[in-house]
Structure 1
Amino acid sequence: MAREVLARRNHDEKTKKRKNIWMNNNNLNIGSSNQGQSTSSKDINFNQNILASKFTENFNKEQTSS
């Protein structure tokens, strides 16, 4: 029982770290696109959607494999 609880907690911590890394990277991408570059909001949204779908895809793969 204790082993299962520890395994779950460890898994949750790794997941939280991955989400934080992804959010930080995503925020950097948003910031850099607004600094003197003529990137349209459509392009920014498109890039964010790609990042989000890749993250979800990888996240779901890890959920099913563990």
Structure 2
Amino acid sequence: MLDNPAVLIWSMLFGVFGIGFFTYGKRQGAPIPLIVGITLMIYPYFVSNLILLVCIGIALIALPYFVKL
């Protein structure tokens, strides 16, 4: 993973978004942003392909806007 600095930068960016979604979900009691936030913080540890990392991250960030509970 560390052989490509772009992967590290994108992972940190999605981690920051994850912290934001997690905080919002916890304060509002909303389960979807809470789960998305946890997922955004964890999944970069398991994905090392840059294109796959960005695609999954964008899909997760867009998920709460399309799924409402």
TM-score band, normalised by the shorter chain? 0.3 to 0.5
Q: TM-score, normalised by structure 2?
A: 0.43
- Structure number with larger C-alpha Rg: 1
Q: TM-score, normalised by structure 1?
A: 0.45
- Relative CO higher for 1 or 2, CA cutoff 8 Å, sep ≥ 6? 2
Higher helix residue share: 1
